[in-house]
Amino acid sequence: MDKIKILYSPVHYILDSGKIGSEYGWASGIFKNCSSFENISVSAICAYSNLKPINDSDIIEISKFKKINLNNIGRLVFVFKVFFATKNILKKQDIDIIHHVLPFAYGATFNLAAILGLFKNKKFVIGPVQTPLTYESKQEFLFVNEGFEIGLKKRLLMSADILSAKLFRPLLFELSKRTLNKADVIVAINEDSKKYYSNIVDENKIIVVPPGIDVSVYKEKDFKPIDGDKCIEIITASHLIKRKGVDLIINAISGLPNKYQDRIILKIIGDGPEKKYLEELVYNLKLNNIYFEGYVKHEIISKYYQNADIFISMSYSESFGQVLIEAMDAGLPSIVSKVSGFKGILAHGTTGFLINHDVEELKKYLIELIDNPQLRNEMGLNARQIVEEKYDWKIIANEYYEMYQNLIL
């Protein structure tokens, strides 16, 4: 059987398995795991990559710089560079499937080659796609898109970027819709994403394939009875922005009865514009069992998960709970908010608890887990098993492989 020739156009801005951010991990995970199949040949277009090609795969870099400008102009330049690189590859190679992996967001991105008909007689895939995130303020939008240090010049440029996006929004929505309509298959990360895109395109062309995780990073936690001198370690990991709801966790810890205060510690992993506010909150509440760990590189964050006993996230909006999957893979029971990105992953009462954005409810379930080590152990083992069965990249890659096979039959 001839190899299935796939062109990831684009695979993402940067192809880097160590890059912080869920989408970068998804892109590198799809590329690495799908490239490992012997009867698939993959070419991937990106701005920059630090990954080495696998088997006979190929990586086409269209920028000489590791850091690229992701304002509106930079993204538009990327779109045109991808277009010309794609056009050149299609002239030289007989490609079976073009897969626009990432980035893709309705009303923000599009594929010019698809719109202009370059994929005629080729199968076209888009995804993984997700529901849009919501931002509470321009400060949060700036942080999520630009990082921790935002100077005046960059703020002014970003403000101009936001204004231009509003002006061209109708055109961008039209270009995104035309791109989606060209697709033979659209991959959604969960049922909520499928429902969102079903309002835009034919639902029959949408399939659900979640992102994966490398399950070999973590080892199962063995149950050990609580040592009276050992504190229960609670962990949360996120950008420190309002949308993540870290203040709810701090207030819940503060509201626990005194008998629990010496038995627990909370480690907050992450950095961001809310850090100073959260530190002041901890100071004002006179809490000495909460520690700000700051920014932690993705390759070493597994150590924090493995040393912890409970994971919490009170985020107000998540497209997909990648951080929850990592916690579950480390064998942690979790308490998370009832948002789209968590609801389809965590089984309430089996691997943790899904709750409202309510401090009293959080306190209730925290006490239940603190007081019941056997429950923590059972939920952690259940969580690990679910990740191994549903979110191992090897399993996810097989789902992509079957999709590719079905497209060319």
Could you read off the pLDDT of 289-303 as tens digits, one per residue?
Answer: 999 999 888 778 888
What does DSSP say about strands 232-237 and 352-355: parallel, antiparallel, or unpaired?
A: unpaired
Query: What's the Cα-to-Cα distance from 103 to each of 11, 14, 176, rounded to whole Å?
Result: 8, 10, 12
* pLDDT of res. 146: 46
pTM over 0.75: yes
pLDDT in tens, 225-267: 545 456 899 999 998 988 899 999 999 999 999 999 989 999 9
Domains of the chain, each with CATH number or no CATH: 4-137+169-212+392-408 (3.40.50.2000), 215-390 (3.40.50.2000)
Place of tokens 């909150």: 281
Q: Let me know if 345 is exposed, middle or buried by CB neighbors in 10 A (0-12, 13-18, 19+).
A: buried
For the stretch 271-286, pLDDT in tens is 988 899 999 999 999 9
pLDDT in tens, 308-334: 999 999 998 888 899 999 999 999 999
